[in-house]
């Protein structure tokens, strides 16, 4: 029996690295692993080109932060990094 897919194809796009065709994919249902993680991606693109170094393309706007302690630590880390970047740009 073939392995059941955990995603559905919802569209197409173009790879930013090689210019080849990509599939837009979304989760069918969330797994326990995604719920436990600090974040997961709700959508992503998959590049068909076997010679492309980029097979999975994930955008920040598709990132979903979970509401647990690990995600709060990740958010704090991101805020700290933004503050450091801001301070570096002032100098």
Q: Which residue has the tokens 């069918």?
A: 28
Q: Which residue has the tokens 């249902």?
A: 29
13 token code pair: 């796009």
pLDDT in tens, 39-74: 889 899 999 899 988 889 998 888 888 876 555 556
Stronger pLDDT, 81 or 16, i.e. the higher one: 16
> CB neighbours of 17 closer than 8 A, spacing ≥ 6?
47, 52, 53, 54
Q: Model pTM?
A: 0.64
Could you tell me if 22 and 47 are in contact, meaning their C-beta atoms sit under 8 angstroms apart?
yes
Residue 12: strand, helix, or coil: strand
Q: What is the pLDDT of residue 34?
A: 83
Delimit the domains of the chain by residue range. Answer: 7-66
Q: What is the pLDDT of residue 73?
A: 59
Q: What is the pLDDT of residue 22?
A: 93
């Amino acid at each position: 029996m073939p392995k059941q897919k955990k995603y559905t194809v919802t569209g197409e796009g173009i790879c930013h690295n090689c210019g080849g065709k990509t599939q837009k994919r979304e989760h069918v249902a969330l797994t326990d692993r995604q719920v436990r993680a600090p974040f997961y991606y709700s959508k992503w693109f998959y590049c068909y080109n076997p010679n492309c170094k980029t097979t999975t393309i994930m955008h920040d706007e598709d990132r979903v932060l979970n509401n647990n302690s690990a995600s709060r630590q990740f958010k704090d880390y991101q805020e700290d990094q933004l503050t450091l970047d801001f301070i570096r740009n002032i100098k």
